[in-house]
Amino acid sequence: MARPQHKQEEPERGRRAAPKRGMSPLIPLVVVIVILGGGVMAVVAGSGKQPEQAPQPAASKKPKPFDDLPPELPPSKKAGSSGNGRSFIADAPDGLEKDANWQKAILIANEGAKLYDEAVAAKTAGDTALLNHKGAAARTKLNDAFDMTAMWEEELFTKYGDANPEVRRIVKTRSDWMDKVRWLHKSIAR
């Protein structure tokens, strides 16, 4: 059985629908006009001339914030420093590089350097097993030499500064050893 369909009544074309109750469409427009008008009035009122203020008497002399402190003295000189950021050359005895511990470290490091060169050649040739074997031995030797001379280098810095030519050569040699150790750490298997 078919259900009867109810037609909704459409308003006639000539008639207007009854207005909905609630807010008038003119209220937002009125609010915008009031806000703009208030802004214009505030600008006009603010642009009026203000009475001139009397000039303030200038202070005869501004106080400096640290005038009450005594003048700063330069830092005292310490061994290894001239106080001006530069190291001084102290009277170091000739032959620092003839130290027995240094000579022993040089021998060990030379053995490590030979092994290092072989490890580099093995890496170039693509021989990973030989690289790992020679590299591990080189790393051990170079680390031993570096560790043997660490405290000695600090003592040299304290006594003679880093501008002493022999101290510079010792530091450069030790830095070269450490550069090789870094390369080995990156290149060989652990």
Q: What is the C-alpha separation between 141 and 147, in angstroms, rounded?
A: 10
Q: What is the mean pLDDT of the chain?
A: 78
pLDDT tens for residues 24-54? 777 888 888 889 888 888 887 777 655 566 5
Alpha-carbon distance of 158 to 160, in angstroms, equals 6
In this predicted structure, what is the pLDDT of residue 56? 62
Alpha-helical regions (H) of the chain: 27-46, 100-125, 128-148, 150-160, 165-187
**Which residue in the block uniquely carries the two structure tokens 């500064």?**
161
The CATH code of the domain at 101-187 is: 1.20.58
For Cα atoms 128, 138, 98, give the angle at the middle one, nearest 5 degrees.
160
The pLDDT value recorded for residue 178 is: 93
Q: Answer yes or no: is pLDDT of 21 > 60.
A: yes
Query: 152 vs 67, 103, 133, CA distance in Å?
Result: 46, 12, 30
What pLDDT is recorded for position 51?
55
The reported pLDDT for the residue numbered 14 is 58
pLDDT at 83: 47
| pLDDT at residue number 86 | 46
Give 3 or 183, the one with higher predicted confidence.
183
Looking at residue 59, what is its pLDDT? 56
- How far apart are the C-alpha atoms of 107 and 141, rounded to whole Å? 10
Residue range 135-187, pLDDT digits in tens = 999 999 999 999 999 998 888 888 888 778 888 888 999 999 999 999 999 98
88-145 pLDDT, tens digit each = 445 566 677 788 889 999 999 999 999 999 999 999 999 999 999 999 999 999 999 9
For the chain, how far is it from start to end, CA to CA, in angstroms? 89
74 CB-near residues (< 8 Å, 6+ apart) = 83
* Res. 9 pLDDT band, cuts 50 70 90: low
Is residue 115 within 8 Å of residue 134, measured between CB atoms? yes
Task: Name which of 113, 124, 132, 114 is nearest 186 in CA terms.
Answer: 132
pTM beyond 0.75, yes or no:
no
Average pLDDT, stretch 64-93? 63
Q: Where are the domains of the chain?
A: 101-187
